[in-house]
Every structure is written in C-alpha cells, then in structure tokens.
C-alpha cells in the first residue's frame, strides 16, 4: 500500500515537472523564433546593429566563404561591411529546418535561407544562385540562454552547392 502511494506521488511530481518543462520550452521556442524574425527584418532593412544585437560577446561566426570570426564586434563589423557591399538591399527569407534543445539553456537551430535582390554584379564570388536567382544557404546557430535571454554563440553559414536538393518551399514559411 505504501509503495503504491509513493508511486502515485512520484508520478504526479514527474507529470508536473514535465508540464513545467514543456511550458518553458514553448516560451523559449517563441523567443528563439522571435530572434529569427528579427534577423530577417533587420537584414531586409540593412540594419547591422539590430542584426547583430543577439550575437554573444565571445560568439564565433563562419560565413558562406569559410571565413572565421570571433566576437560580437567582428560579427557587427562584418555585417556593416556586407550590407554596404554585395548584400546591399538584398532580401533574406528563412525557414526553420530544425530547432532542438540539447539542454534547457542550449538550442541548436538550423534554417534554410534564401537571399534575393543582388545588384547586376551578382552574388559573392564562389557562391551560386539557383534557377530562381536566389542564394540558398544552410545556417546553423547555437543559442545559449543566460540572464540576458538567448544569445547566438555559434553562427555557421554555408551556401548550398549546385546539384544539392533542397525543399522547394516558399521562403519565409
């Protein structure tokens, strides 16, 4: 009898713990999706300051050309530069491929991105535009939650090479 009583309370405790984790997970998922929306909005407005505001002070960044940078200031500087150069007045769309919490305070987010609106000079050398004139990339971001909210600690962006199959979905969905 005692054992059944204890099992019942353990079950109730675990159910409550699971519900609390799910509620936190929903709140965190919403916060991360807001960061992604913020990325799209700020990119499309050529706003490097807003685009980089969620990037961690000690974060790392690999761009589509394979260049590697460390730190918030480098991330900001690079985006100021690209928004004035080849990516000036381009439009970004992105779809979530995977959003996975590896711990309650660490999420791995992979998106497919499409960039359109390049000038006549075209996309950066070494990249490829698809048949619709879009630069398609796979962006992997590792986000860590701290007292200031979610921050991007790893940003790894690779362009999709010709012949690689990607879902033909409307960008931004």
How many angstroms separate the CA atoms of 151 and 102, rounded? 15
DSSP 3-state of 121 = coil
The confidence band for 71, taking pLDDT boundaries of 50, 70 and 90, is very high
pLDDT (0 to 100) of residue 5: 56
Sheet containing strand 68-70, strands side by side: 68-70, 55-62, 149-159, 135-146, 106-116, 91-103
For all residues of the chain together, what is the average pLDDT? 87
CATH architecture designation of domain 2-159: Roll (3.10)
Query: Under a CB-based contact definition with an 8 Å cutoff, are residues 133 and 109 in contact?
Result: no
d(CA 129, CA 53): 28
pLDDT top residue among 42 and 23: 42
Q: Tell me: the pLDDT tens digits for 92-126?
A: 999 999 999 999 999 999 999 999 999 988 898 88
Task: For 140-169, write each residue's pLDDT tens digit.
Answer: 999 999 999 999 999 999 999 888 887 765
- Contact assessment for residue 93 and residue 171, using Cβ atoms and an 8 Å cutoff: yes
Measure the CA angle with vertex 36, ends 120 and 41; round to 5°. Answer: 50
Report the alpha-carbon angle 61-98-118, nearest 5. 55
Q: Residue 34: name the closest of 87, 77, 92, 96 by CA.
A: 96
* Residue 126 vs residue 37, higher pLDDT: 37
Domain boundaries, the chain: 2-159
Q: Are 136 and 157 in contact (CB under 8 A)?
A: no
């Amino acid at each position: 009898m005692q054992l059944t009583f204890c099992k019942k309370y353990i079950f109730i405790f675990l159910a409550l713990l699971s519900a609390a984790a799910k509620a936190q997970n929903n709140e965190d998922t919403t916060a991360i999706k807001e960061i992604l929306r913020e990325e799209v909005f700020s990119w499309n407005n050529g706003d490097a300051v807003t685009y980089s505001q969620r990037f961690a002070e000690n974060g790392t960044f690999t761009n589509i050309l394979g260049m590697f940078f460390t730190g918030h200031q480098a991330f900001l500087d690079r985006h100021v530069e690209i928004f004035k150069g080849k990516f000036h007045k381009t439009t970004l769309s992105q779809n979530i491929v995977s959003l996975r919490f590896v711990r309650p305070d660490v999420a791995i987010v992979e998106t497919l991105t499409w960039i359109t609106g390049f000038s006549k000079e075209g996309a950066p050398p070494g990249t490829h535009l698809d048949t619709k004139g879009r630069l398609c990339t796979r962006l992997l971001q590792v986000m860590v939650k701290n007292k200031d909210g979610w921050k991007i600690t790893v940003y790894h962006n690779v362009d999709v090479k010709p012949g690689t199959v990607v879902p033909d979905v409307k960008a931004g969905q």
